[in-house]
Amino acid sequence: MALAKDTGFLLRKIPFSETSFILKAFTREHGLVSLMAKGAKRPSSRYRGVLEPILHLQFLFPAFSRSEIRILGEVSLLKDFPGLRDNPVKQGLARVFAELLLRYPPSESDAAQFHDLLLQAQETLEKSPPDRSGLQAQLTFFLLSYFNISGFQPQFKTCVRCGGVLSGGNIPFLIDQGGPLCAGCNRDEASVYFLRENIVRWLDAIQTGGDTPELSRTDMWRAEEFLLRYLGRHAGGERSLKSLSVWHALMEGD
Protein backbone atom coordinates (compact mmCIF):
# COMPACT_ATOMS: atom_id res chain seq x y z
CA MET A 1 0.00 0.00 0.00
CA ALA A 2 1.39 3.37 -1.04
CA LEU A 3 1.73 5.78 1.85
CA ALA A 4 1.62 9.58 1.81
CA LYS A 5 3.79 11.68 4.10
CA ASP A 6 2.35 15.14 4.47
CA THR A 7 2.68 18.12 6.82
CA GLY A 8 -0.27 19.90 8.33
CA PHE A 9 -2.39 20.82 11.32
CA LEU A 10 -5.02 19.01 13.35
CA LEU A 11 -8.25 21.00 13.05
CA ARG A 12 -10.63 18.76 14.98
CA LYS A 13 -10.49 15.60 17.10
CA ILE A 14 -13.72 13.57 17.39
CA PRO A 15 -14.15 10.67 19.86
CA PHE A 16 -15.04 7.55 17.87
CA SER A 17 -14.86 4.58 20.20
CA GLU A 18 -13.49 3.71 23.61
CA THR A 19 -9.95 3.82 22.21
CA SER A 20 -9.94 5.82 18.98
CA PHE A 21 -10.45 9.28 17.46
CA ILE A 22 -11.51 10.57 14.07
CA LEU A 23 -9.23 13.43 13.06
CA LYS A 24 -9.87 16.29 10.68
CA ALA A 25 -6.46 17.47 9.50
CA PHE A 26 -5.47 20.10 6.95
CA THR A 27 -2.40 19.01 5.01
CA ARG A 28 -0.17 20.75 2.51
CA GLU A 29 -0.56 18.30 -0.37
CA HIS A 30 -3.97 16.71 0.27
CA GLY A 31 -5.97 19.55 1.84
CA LEU A 32 -8.62 18.51 4.35
CA VAL A 33 -8.39 14.79 5.19
CA SER A 34 -10.21 12.53 7.67
CA LEU A 35 -8.00 10.11 9.60
CA MET A 36 -8.72 7.32 12.05
CA ALA A 37 -6.27 7.35 14.98
CA LYS A 38 -6.71 3.83 16.32
CA GLY A 39 -5.89 3.34 19.98
CA ALA A 40 -5.09 7.04 20.47
CA LYS A 41 -7.05 7.16 23.75
CA ARG A 42 -4.96 4.47 25.40
CA PRO A 43 -2.43 5.72 28.01
CA SER A 44 0.33 3.85 26.19
CA SER A 45 -0.57 5.22 22.74
CA ARG A 46 2.31 6.53 20.64
CA TYR A 47 0.02 9.40 19.65
CA ARG A 48 -0.37 10.83 23.17
CA GLY A 49 0.71 14.46 23.48
CA VAL A 50 0.98 14.93 19.71
CA LEU A 51 -2.62 14.93 18.50
CA GLU A 52 -3.31 18.45 19.67
CA PRO A 53 -4.44 21.59 17.80
CA ILE A 54 -1.95 24.37 17.03
CA LEU A 55 1.00 21.97 16.63
CA HIS A 56 2.59 21.68 13.20
CA LEU A 57 2.67 17.96 12.45
CA GLN A 58 3.79 15.41 9.92
CA PHE A 59 1.23 12.71 9.08
CA LEU A 60 1.67 9.30 7.45
CA PHE A 61 -1.45 7.76 5.92
CA PRO A 62 -2.56 5.75 2.85
CA ALA A 63 -2.16 7.75 -0.34
CA PHE A 64 -5.38 6.21 -1.68
CA SER A 65 -8.39 4.82 0.16
CA ARG A 66 -11.83 3.53 -0.80
CA SER A 67 -13.16 5.02 2.39
CA GLU A 68 -13.44 8.73 3.15
CA ILE A 69 -11.62 8.01 6.42
CA ARG A 70 -8.01 6.86 6.11
CA ILE A 71 -6.10 5.03 8.81
CA LEU A 72 -3.40 7.17 10.43
CA GLY A 73 -0.06 5.38 10.35
CA GLU A 74 2.31 7.75 12.13
CA VAL A 75 2.37 11.33 13.31
CA SER A 76 5.33 13.38 14.49
CA LEU A 77 5.88 16.89 15.78
CA LEU A 78 7.49 19.40 13.43
CA LYS A 79 6.97 22.62 15.37
CA ASP A 80 5.53 23.53 18.75
CA PHE A 81 4.07 26.96 19.54
CA PRO A 82 4.48 27.43 23.32
CA GLY A 83 3.60 31.13 23.05
CA LEU A 84 0.13 30.11 21.85
CA ARG A 85 -0.34 27.29 24.33
CA ASP A 86 0.52 29.56 27.25
CA ASN A 87 -1.73 32.46 26.24
CA PRO A 88 -5.48 31.67 26.09
CA VAL A 89 -6.32 34.71 23.96
CA LYS A 90 -3.69 33.95 21.32
CA GLN A 91 -4.56 30.25 21.42
CA GLY A 92 -8.21 31.20 20.92
CA LEU A 93 -7.36 33.12 17.75
CA ALA A 94 -5.27 30.20 16.44
CA ARG A 95 -8.35 28.02 16.86
CA VAL A 96 -10.38 30.54 14.83
CA PHE A 97 -7.84 30.23 11.99
CA ALA A 98 -8.18 26.44 12.15
CA GLU A 99 -11.97 26.45 12.20
CA LEU A 100 -12.11 28.76 9.19
CA LEU A 101 -10.29 26.09 7.15
CA LEU A 102 -12.55 23.41 8.60
CA ARG A 103 -15.83 25.22 7.85
CA TYR A 104 -14.64 26.63 4.51
CA PRO A 105 -12.24 23.94 3.24
CA PRO A 106 -10.21 25.15 0.25
CA SER A 107 -9.78 23.05 -2.85
CA GLU A 108 -6.95 20.51 -2.87
CA SER A 109 -5.24 22.48 -5.66
CA ASP A 110 -4.87 25.45 -3.30
CA ALA A 111 -3.97 23.38 -0.23
CA ALA A 112 -0.26 24.25 -0.21
CA GLN A 113 -0.95 28.00 -0.15
CA PHE A 114 -3.48 27.65 2.66
CA HIS A 115 -1.17 25.38 4.66
CA ASP A 116 1.56 27.99 4.36
CA LEU A 117 -0.88 30.77 5.27
CA LEU A 118 -1.88 28.94 8.46
CA LEU A 119 1.74 28.22 9.35
CA GLN A 120 2.71 31.86 8.78
CA ALA A 121 -0.30 33.07 10.78
CA GLN A 122 0.67 30.93 13.78
CA GLU A 123 4.33 31.96 13.57
CA THR A 124 3.30 35.64 13.55
CA LEU A 125 0.85 35.09 16.38
CA GLU A 126 3.51 33.29 18.40
CA LYS A 127 5.81 36.33 18.32
CA SER A 128 3.25 39.13 18.63
CA PRO A 129 2.01 40.88 21.79
CA PRO A 130 -1.56 39.92 22.78
CA ASP A 131 -3.07 43.38 22.38
CA ARG A 132 -6.61 43.64 21.07
CA SER A 133 -6.01 45.78 17.99
CA GLY A 134 -3.03 43.72 16.86
CA LEU A 135 -4.90 40.42 17.20
CA GLN A 136 -7.95 41.78 15.38
CA ALA A 137 -5.68 42.96 12.57
CA GLN A 138 -4.16 39.45 12.34
CA LEU A 139 -7.61 37.89 11.93
CA THR A 140 -8.43 40.49 9.29
CA PHE A 141 -5.19 39.77 7.42
CA PHE A 142 -5.92 36.02 7.54
CA LEU A 143 -9.39 36.50 6.06
CA LEU A 144 -8.18 38.87 3.35
CA SER A 145 -5.40 36.41 2.47
CA TYR A 146 -8.00 33.63 2.25
CA PHE A 147 -9.97 35.76 -0.22
CA ASN A 148 -6.86 36.48 -2.26
CA ILE A 149 -5.81 32.82 -2.57
CA SER A 150 -9.39 31.78 -3.37
CA GLY A 151 -9.69 34.31 -6.19
CA PHE A 152 -12.37 36.63 -4.80
CA GLN A 153 -10.23 39.34 -3.22
CA PRO A 154 -12.11 42.61 -2.62
CA GLN A 155 -10.73 46.09 -3.23
CA PHE A 156 -11.32 49.14 -1.08
CA LYS A 157 -9.75 52.05 -3.01
CA THR A 158 -12.15 53.21 -5.72
CA CYS A 159 -15.73 52.77 -6.92
CA VAL A 160 -16.22 49.28 -8.33
CA ARG A 161 -18.43 50.67 -11.10
CA CYS A 162 -16.84 53.86 -12.36
CA GLY A 163 -13.43 53.88 -10.71
CA GLY A 164 -14.29 57.17 -9.05
CA VAL A 165 -13.20 58.56 -5.70
CA LEU A 166 -15.06 57.40 -2.61
CA SER A 167 -16.64 59.95 -0.32
CA GLY A 168 -18.98 60.19 2.62
CA GLY A 169 -19.03 58.97 6.18
CA ASN A 170 -20.76 55.68 5.25
CA ILE A 171 -19.54 53.96 2.11
CA PRO A 172 -21.75 51.36 0.38
CA PHE A 173 -19.95 48.14 -0.49
CA LEU A 174 -21.21 45.71 -3.14
CA ILE A 175 -20.40 42.32 -1.64
CA ASP A 176 -21.26 40.41 -4.83
CA GLN A 177 -18.91 42.55 -6.93
CA GLY A 178 -16.17 42.90 -4.31
CA GLY A 179 -15.86 46.66 -4.11
CA PRO A 180 -17.30 49.94 -2.80
CA LEU A 181 -19.55 52.39 -4.60
CA CYS A 182 -19.21 56.13 -4.89
CA ALA A 183 -22.21 58.32 -4.09
CA GLY A 184 -23.10 58.68 -7.77
CA CYS A 185 -23.20 54.93 -8.45
CA ASN A 186 -25.11 53.82 -5.36
CA ARG A 187 -28.57 52.66 -6.46
CA ASP A 188 -29.67 50.92 -3.25
CA GLU A 189 -28.91 47.35 -4.39
CA ALA A 190 -30.01 44.62 -2.00
CA SER A 191 -26.46 43.33 -1.51
CA VAL A 192 -25.02 46.69 -0.41
CA TYR A 193 -23.29 46.67 2.97
CA PHE A 194 -22.47 50.04 4.52
CA LEU A 195 -19.06 50.60 6.08
CA ARG A 196 -17.74 53.71 7.75
CA GLU A 197 -15.01 55.39 5.75
CA ASN A 198 -12.37 54.76 8.44
CA ILE A 199 -13.14 51.00 8.32
CA VAL A 200 -12.69 50.96 4.55
CA ARG A 201 -9.32 52.72 4.91
CA TRP A 202 -8.28 50.30 7.67
CA LEU A 203 -9.16 47.24 5.58
CA ASP A 204 -7.29 48.65 2.59
CA ALA A 205 -4.20 49.35 4.72
CA ILE A 206 -4.12 45.79 6.08
CA GLN A 207 -4.60 44.31 2.63
CA THR A 208 -1.91 46.44 0.99
CA GLY A 209 0.56 46.52 3.87
CA GLY A 210 0.21 50.24 4.56
CA ASP A 211 0.08 52.08 7.86
CA THR A 212 -3.14 51.15 9.61
CA PRO A 213 -5.16 54.01 11.12
CA GLU A 214 -6.53 53.80 14.65
CA LEU A 215 -9.84 51.97 14.85
CA SER A 216 -12.21 51.53 17.78
CA ARG A 217 -13.09 48.07 19.08
CA THR A 218 -16.65 48.50 17.78
CA ASP A 219 -15.41 49.38 14.30
CA MET A 220 -13.01 46.42 14.31
CA TRP A 221 -15.87 44.06 15.09
CA ARG A 222 -17.95 45.74 12.40
CA ALA A 223 -15.12 45.06 9.95
CA GLU A 224 -14.97 41.44 11.16
CA GLU A 225 -18.73 41.04 10.67
CA PHE A 226 -18.43 42.39 7.14
CA LEU A 227 -15.53 40.07 6.24
CA LEU A 228 -17.37 36.99 7.50
CA ARG A 229 -20.45 37.97 5.50
CA TYR A 230 -18.23 38.48 2.46
CA LEU A 231 -16.66 35.05 3.02
CA GLY A 232 -20.06 33.40 3.30
CA ARG A 233 -21.31 35.04 0.12
CA HIS A 234 -18.32 33.90 -1.94
CA ALA A 235 -17.50 30.56 -0.31
CA GLY A 236 -20.83 28.76 -0.09
CA GLY A 237 -22.91 30.38 2.63
CA GLU A 238 -22.42 31.81 6.11
CA ARG A 239 -21.48 29.21 8.74
CA SER A 240 -21.24 29.66 12.48
CA LEU A 241 -17.78 29.58 14.03
CA LYS A 242 -17.91 28.36 17.63
CA SER A 243 -14.28 29.28 18.19
CA LEU A 244 -15.00 32.91 17.26
CA SER A 245 -17.51 33.42 20.08
CA VAL A 246 -15.06 31.75 22.50
CA TRP A 247 -12.28 34.07 21.33
CA HIS A 248 -14.50 37.12 21.76
CA ALA A 249 -15.26 36.04 25.32
CA LEU A 250 -11.56 35.58 26.02
CA MET A 251 -10.82 39.03 24.61
CA GLU A 252 -13.50 40.59 26.81
CA GLY A 253 -12.16 38.84 29.88
CA ASP A 254 -8.52 39.72 29.20
**Calpha distance 195→189 (Å, rounded):** 15
- pLDDT for the residue 101: 97
- pLDDT for the residue 130: 87
- pLDDT for the residue 188: 66
Contacts for 237-244 with beta carbons within 8 Å, 24 or more apart? 239/103, 239/104, 241/96, 241/99, 241/100, 241/103, 242/99, 243/92, 243/95, 243/96, 243/98, 243/99, 244/96, 244/99
The pTM score is 0.95
- pLDDT for the residue 189: 65
Average pLDDT score over residue span 235-245: 94
Query: How does pLDDT run across 24-65, given as a tens digit for each residue?
Result: 999 999 999 999 999 999 989 999 889 999 999 999 999 888
Q: Model confidence at 21, in pLDDT bands (50, 70, 90)?
A: very high
Average pLDDT score over residue span 88-109: 96
